[in-house]
Amino acid sequence: MYNPSDVGKKGNLFGLPYSQQESDLVILPVNMDVTVSYGEGTSKAPKLILDESSQLDLSLPNIVKPWELRMTMSDEFLDKKENEEYRKKAKTIIDALASGNQISNQNLVDEINAHCKNIHRLVEVKCDELFDQGKIVGVLGGDHSSPLGLLRSLAKREVFGILQIDAHMDLRNSYEGFAYSHASIMHNAMNLEGVSTLTQVGIRDYCDEEEESMRNSNKEIHVFYDEEMFSERSAGKTWLEQTKEIVQTLPETLYISFDIDGLDPSLCPTTGTPVPGGLKFNEAIYLINEVVKSGRKIIGFDLCEVGTSAWDANVGSRILYRLATSLGVSQNLLRLK
């Protein structure tokens, strides 16, 4: 008999007792940060979050018995040594570009792109298998390129919009020569036929190419810039009013992509690319709650760019829990109080 008030079992996601076979939701860890362009180590996040998650207390103010959502983390971790090998290769290119040099070894760039493409294909195949078993899937990165395989798998089955919480637009065609860069995840996602719209919240670090991509897209892209939203709140607009405006841009079927650098960096100081500003923890949770209350169906999610400290993993595990349980409510596996 599972008692949610007992000490959580270390090594089980959130200390829950569910196996993958009996779980409705499977969290797929993608230990990948090959093309990260600033801080390293986000590939270690899935294991750190798994370790930290068992110390969470599981009751929530808005959901009845959230621990009854049957979920687990897959034990199919990708090969860390392979990630580290290709990370070292990518870093030689990144360091050269940062020193003002041009790419001198296109064969190496092509090799790294081929490796990343293969990882995304492996993730897509695994997601296909899980969907065929009737599972719901969330991805835990790794850098923000990690969920591309999940998005591809979903886009073969559904038409959906993306709600992206992030400091960055991630709309570059490629970055530093890498077609599957963390800075290109939304560019790649918007090229999928099944992805209909994109709504970005918390954006505060972006380039001209990305704004051009947003303006010229043949699909709807709605950007809620962090600085503009702060100015509106300073003039009297409430977060409730702003969240309602965000939710109005979302279609009925939805995927949530949560880059943890969308939060205030005091909550995620060792993330790969921290940026001043951002959402407070409860602001992010409030937004997700409003999405659920609106009746929209969340069909999947990712959490990426969690850093290498226990504090980052603590915050990340709490965001992961809220994403999972919110999805549970939206799919009638849990209910609101």
Note down the domain range covering 323.
13-336
Confidence band, pLDDT 50/70/90 cuts, at residue 161 = very high
Nearest to 302 by CA among 44, 30, 111, 9: 30
**Residue 2 lies inside a defined structural domain of this protein:** no
**Residue 81 lies inside a defined structural domain of this protein:** yes
pLDDT in tens, 101-158: 888 788 999 999 999 999 999 999 999 999 999 999 999 999 999 999 999 999 999 9
Sheet with 25-30, edge to edge strand ranges: 71-73, 25-30, 136-141, 297-304, 253-259, 160-165, 195-203, 220-225
Confidence band, pLDDT 50/70/90 cuts, at residue 218 = very high
Contact predicate 190/219, CB 8 Å: yes
pLDDT in tens, 7-64: 887 889 999 999 999 999 999 999 999 988 887 889 999 999 999 999 999 999 999 9
**Residue 107 lies inside a defined structural domain of this protein:** yes
Q: How many domains, in total, are found in the chain?
A: 1
Is the pLDDT at 77 greater than 80? The verdict is no
Enumerate residues 6+ apart whose C-beta is below 8 A from 319.
258, 260, 281, 284, 303
Kind of pairing between the strands at 136-141 and 297-304: parallel
**Residue 6 lies inside a defined structural domain of this protein:** no
**Residue 153 lies inside a defined structural domain of this protein:** yes
**Residue 241 lies inside a defined structural domain of this protein:** yes
pLDDT in tens, 122-134: 999 999 999 999 9
**Residue 1 lies inside a defined structural domain of this protein:** no
User: Could you tell me the sign of the dihedral formed by the alpha carbons of 230, 196, 139, 133, in that order?
Assistant: positive
**Residue 8 lies inside a defined structural domain of this protein:** no
Average pLDDT over residues 165-176: 95
pLDDT at 309: 94
pLDDT in tens, 232-291: 999 999 999 999 999 999 999 999 999 999 999 999 999 999 999 999 999 999 999 999
pTM of this structure:
0.96
Output the six-digit token pair for 92: 């030689």
Nearest to 224 by CA among 244, 239, 246, 209: 246
Confidence band, pLDDT 50/70/90 cuts, at residue 79 = low
pLDDT at 8: 81
> CA angle at residue 204 from 97 to 267, to 5 degrees?
95
Nearest to 168 by CA among 274, 91, 266: 274
Task: Kindly report the CATH number assigned to the domain that includes residue 111.
Answer: 3.40.800.10
Is the pLDDT at 186 greater than 80? The verdict is yes
Lowest-pLDDT range of 64-78, 291-305, 320-334: 64-78
Contact predicate 28/123, CB 8 Å: yes
Is the pLDDT at 89 greater than 70? The verdict is yes
pLDDT in tens, 191-209: 999 999 999 999 999 999 9
